[in-house]
Structure 1
Amino acid sequence: MLLVYFAGYLFLSRLFLSEYVYPHFGQSGYLLVSALIDAVMLVLFVFVADDWLKEQWKNFCQRKLHSAAGCVFYLFLLFCASALFAVLIAAPLHLGQAENQINNETMMQLDRIGFLFDAVLIAPFAEEIIFRGCIFNPIAEKKGIWTGALISGIIFGTMHIIASMTSGNWLNLLYLIDYGSSGIILAYAFSRTDSIWTSIIIHACFNLIGVSALL
């Protein structure tokens, strides 16, 4: 069931959107259908994994101070990693903005409320459950935390550079390092606090701050 969920998210919410929805319905249609797909698949997963999510929330609440400190610390690490990428790679190579970021800015201009809802509420919840819950967690249990973090981070990063791949902007693929490192940090945050809710909150806060900069 989890593999079906992941495959559906991977192909429907990225490849299907970029190859069919965007060419036929434009940015506004892309945003609407993307949010709808995320919401539907999120509801399906919550229905299937209700007990697991409750257990994760219990873990988060049992160690409130530890969980809160983890949220602050790993959120700070996310910004540090992005800043290092910008200084050491993006600026020297004149990469410009990532295609994913350009698309986000365009969609923000078209529908601020809809984009804010998707970026801050739906996407963090759905992506953390998929990449940290469905991918990282099983791999980490069998192969170790760092192997799981690396594999899930690469997949997470790849998902965010599909726009660059389909546009043919190959130099922009270096943003895999930026997005991939974010995925690794989020996976480690989940592992260290033993709760998926930690990475969900961090992801949501990171997106909220990023979206606020576009207002």
Structure 2
Amino acid sequence: MNRVMLSKRRVQVILFNYFAGYLFLYPLLIGVLFRLFAPLGIANLDRMLENLVYILVFTVTVGAAWPLLKEHLERFRQNRRAIVKSTLTRYVQMWLVMYGMNLAIILITGLSSSQNQDTVVQQLTQSPLQIILVTCLFAPVVEETVFRGAVFTPLRQRGSFRTAALVSGFLFGLLHVFTSLLSGNFSDGIFILVYGTMGYLLCAAEEENQTIVSPLLMHGLNNLISVMLILL
């Protein structure tokens, strides 16, 4: 099956919006706006600004990737039952691999969880609805569009699955320890292996089913189950 390719301009918009905007520029903008409007005494100003950033990143990402997302949704509708079955099987395999890797990290390093996971746990107690929406809707849609749609798919079109999946997986893993490394928590870098492997397996699901909907469902299901276990 031929791969749907986004134009170079659309890929650039998606990557800039995420890597430059979401990770660097937008947080700086939040800081500037907070200092400007804080004297007005607006309740929950910081949370409001964060939500505006989430909406901006989500809207730009989906808008720029819409030709690809539309085609992949159509592929899913045409073969829904087989894709769901394959996706659930892939998810169980991914969960077992990640569980084994996390257990090995605990035994070898004594680290029980990544800083990324600890942050999610903390934020869930402060603003549960916001974090549920971010982890179960924003993250799966945006991250799969970025790492599978704008990174993996163009690389796969030009080369082997393994190379494209390794690059996409590594960037996906790096994203999840990015804040830790910036803060000097280099021991958290070991979790690149866990998240990177997850990214690689999400690429494998896209490759098998030829639709980004498959890794998106896996990602969303994984985050939903994780949130439910934390809340329970």
Please state if 1:10 is matched with 2:19: yes
Which has the larger displacement, 100-109 or 48-57? 48-57
TM-score, normalising length from structure 1?
0.89
- Matches of 1:178 and 1:206 in 2, distance apart? 13
Structure 1 residues 39 and 20, CA gap change in structure 2 (3 angstroms) = closer
Percent identity, please. Answer: 23
- Matches of 1:198 and 1:137 in 2, distance apart? 14
Equivalent pair of 2:13/2:64 in contact (CA under 8 Å): no
How far has the Cα of 1:29 moved from its partner? 7.1
How far has the Cα of 1:53 moved from its partner? 1.5
* Unmatched 5+ stretches in structure 1: none
Q: Who is 1:62 aligned against?
A: 78
Q: Who is 2:38 aligned against?
A: none
Structure 1 residues 18 and 37, CA gap change in structure 2 (3 angstroms) = closer
Equivalent pair of 2:180/2:188 in contact (CA under 8 Å): yes
Aligned pairs, number: 212
Q: Cα RMSD (Å) of the superposition?
A: 2.3
Please state if 1:91 is matched with 2:100: no
Which has the larger displacement, 124-133 or 161-170? 161-170
* Unmatched 5+ stretches in structure 2: 1-8, 36-43
TM-score, normalising length from structure 2?
0.83
Give the letter aligned to residue 212 of structure 1. M
Give the letter aligned to residue 4 of structure 1. V
- Matches of 2:191 and 2:13 in 1, distance apart? 27
**Residue deviations 1:81-121, cap 9 Å, x none?**
22111222233211232111111111111100010011101
Equivalent pair of 1:35/1:122 in contact (CA under 8 Å): no
Equivalent pair of 1:57/1:195 in contact (CA under 8 Å): yes
Equivalent pair of 1:131/1:156 in contact (CA under 8 Å): yes
- Matches of 1:89 and 1:131 in 2, distance apart? 25
- Matches of 2:76 and 2:230 in 1, distance apart? 31
- Matches of 1:168 and 1:152 in 2, distance apart? 24
